[in-house]
Structure 1
């Protein structure tokens, strides 16, 4: 992504029965090719290539879309190996997509291929959530939506034939970038509230999107300017009004849970992935160190050297992505 250097002006002409009025509506925030936010608060998103769900097996997996809450709306896409009828029970991996809380979708082709292949490799039901996004719905909306999706999983197992052999005693929360951030916060709430019938066995955070008012060395490094500017933009769009980067949703060391002596020994096993060419790598390492110091019993860090942020989305059939899927599979099978 390129640094934002200008804000173009869009001319809109409205025609009615009596007159013609011309309005000037400026783009106040832009991630070229992904999102534009206009001065009137409206938002336009651009998606890369997308994929439709299909109950017909392609690549060894089937997929379908479900509605979690039509009033909001919250939807999800379920992936399962096409031969899962021969498996008595399978773990469930709940996936939260990235995009700085502002863009992204489980329908993006990269996510569709990655998650379908992961379902096959791990012999796992993958349940990928499309939550409401900022700036229209600022944090903590994404956390609330994704937690309600976890509750839907609990109540829908008996009625949805695609979930009949889902083992809800082995649920894994997974996400990349902002989705990794979401997985952390949903896990905290799920452990506190104990969703009926659902046991979170582990967390998988891929290149997690965290921050703070204090910059890291990589964020200050020469050459990181464009990436840091984009990072800052997404935080400005997603944080609640009046909040800074030490908001608990951004800075995992802040907030009531961190300050009140939360019993981290109850936290699930955690696997964190970072990429060598990702300036957010330091944040992932800091998160691992925080969990270990807090008392989480099982925390593991894996670095993909020479890879960029969320490479598995942009290159879903690369060797690095296949290795990522194998490492996630090994983690699931170990618990």
Structure 2
């Protein structure tokens, strides 16, 4: 007879399997690649600890032949707050490609994952990383690459799925806790992981599918009030339009079940009194985070160029 320790509590393919004894077997983001020189793009990367307290790390990317100050991107990886890492081949390859395409400096944030570290750990770690990055604004921070090459007058936050959720909330936090010398020019939200209890318009209504998404959220945040929690459904939060930036790019995919929430985000932002510019890019015929799994396809190349151009709009 199977021991209780090895009994499956929750099977959540293709992401993970959770056992009754609390163990989690992850199927995504388990492989990691070291930093260094990428032979395809000649982008250099380096890992640096940003929090001594939690031993969390960022991976810094510098484009080839970097000279002077360059736009700075702070990137938050996706994975439903439960899987993936900034150091997986998926994210390492994407950041190499984006940094080369845009000629920017990027800081890819790793954060603690649920269920071992339930929400708000991911948000706390992300803000710690933002503050660590901001500590370099005057050229006297702990990492010389950022002191030398990061333009703190032109900073963007970005992420995919759960990482887009994090990017939004970090942008809102920028209005509440000002960071000296740090100008957040814009945010790029790719297939953002937002949800809600009631279906929106043509959003999927299948109870089994909606329950699956609800279960994932509750696993990441056991003390949540549900799928209308402000972390997962920020559009009705009073501070929703308090974004600490003037430009937003939202990327959605035609066949992504999260697409209606991305569209709703754009609509609500325009109505919020925020006053900035909102752009929308839809990739036809594509699924959730397709650009990470099919980086060589035409739609992924178009999306990469759009994001690169958006980041560089803030150049002096």
In the TM superposition, residue 25 of structure 1 has moved relative to its aligned partner by 3.4
Note the C-alpha offset of 1:307: 0.8
* Counterparts in 2 of 1:93 and 1:108: CA distance versus 1, 3 Å: same
Gaps of 5+ in 1: 1-8, 12-22
Tell me how far apart the structure 2 counterparts of residues 252 and 98 of structure 1 sit (CA, whole Å). 17
Give the equivalent residue in structure 2 for 1:305: 284
- Within the candidate set 112, 115, 121, 1:141 is matched to 121
**What's the secondary structure of 2:154's corresponding residue?**
strand
Deviation per CA, 1:35-94: give whole Å up to 9, x if none: 22221223232335745233334222111211111432321111111211xx21101111
The match for 1:61 is 43
Question: Which position in structure 1 is the counterpart of 2:25?
Answer: 44
Secondary structure class of the residue paired with 1:257: coil
* Corresponding residue number in structure 2 for 1:91: 71
Cα–Cα, structure 1 residues 145 and 10, in superposed 2: closer, same or farther, change >3 Å?
A: farther
**Aligned pair 1:316/2:316, yes or no?**
no
Give the secondary-structure state (helix, strand or coil) at the position aligned to 1:173. strand
Quickly say closer, same or farther: Cα 1:93–1:74, change in 2 above 3 A.
same
2:249 corresponds to: 271
1:288 deviation in Å?
Answer: 0.4
Aligned to 1:253: 235
Higher gyration radius (CA) = 1
More moved, 284-293 vs 233-242: 233-242
State the partner residue of 1:19: none
Question: Are 2:266 and 1:281 aligned?
Answer: no
Q: Which moves more between the two structures, 246-255 or 179-188?
A: 246-255
- In structure 2, stretches of 5+ residues that fail to align are none
Any idea what SS the aligned residue of 1:220 has? coil
1:28 equivalent among 9, 18, 33: 9
How far 1:240 moved relative to its partner?
4.1
Of 191, 203, 208, 2:192 maps to: 208
Shift of the alpha carbon at 1:302? 0.8
1:316 CA drift (Å): 2.3
CA distance in 1, matches of 2:294, 2:133: 29
Deviations 1:72-124 (A, max 9, x none): 2321111111211xx21101111001111111111221211111010011001
Whole-angstrom CA distance in 2 between matches of 1:50 and 1:319 = 26
Aligned match for 2:149, one of 157, 165, 181? 165
Taking structure 2 as the reference length, the TM-score comes to: 0.90
1:151 alignment counterpart: 131
After superposition, the C-alpha distances for 1:14-53 in whole angstroms (9 at most, x for unaligned) are xxxxxxxxx5432211223432222122323233574523
Residue pairs, 1:80-229, within 5 angstroms: 80-84=62-66, 87-156=67-136, 158=140, 159-163=142-146, 164-221=148-205, 226=209, 228-229=210-211
TM superposition score normalised by structure 1: 0.85
Distance 1:241 1:254 in 2: 20
Q: Hey, what's the Cα distance between the residues in 1 that align with 2:53 and 2:281?
A: 39
Q: Structure 1 residues 81 and 35, CA, compared in 2 at 3 Å: closer, same or farther?
A: same
Q: List structure 1 runs of 4+ shifted beyond 6 angstroms.
A: none
Cα distance in 1, alignment partners of residues 135 and 88 from structure 2: 27
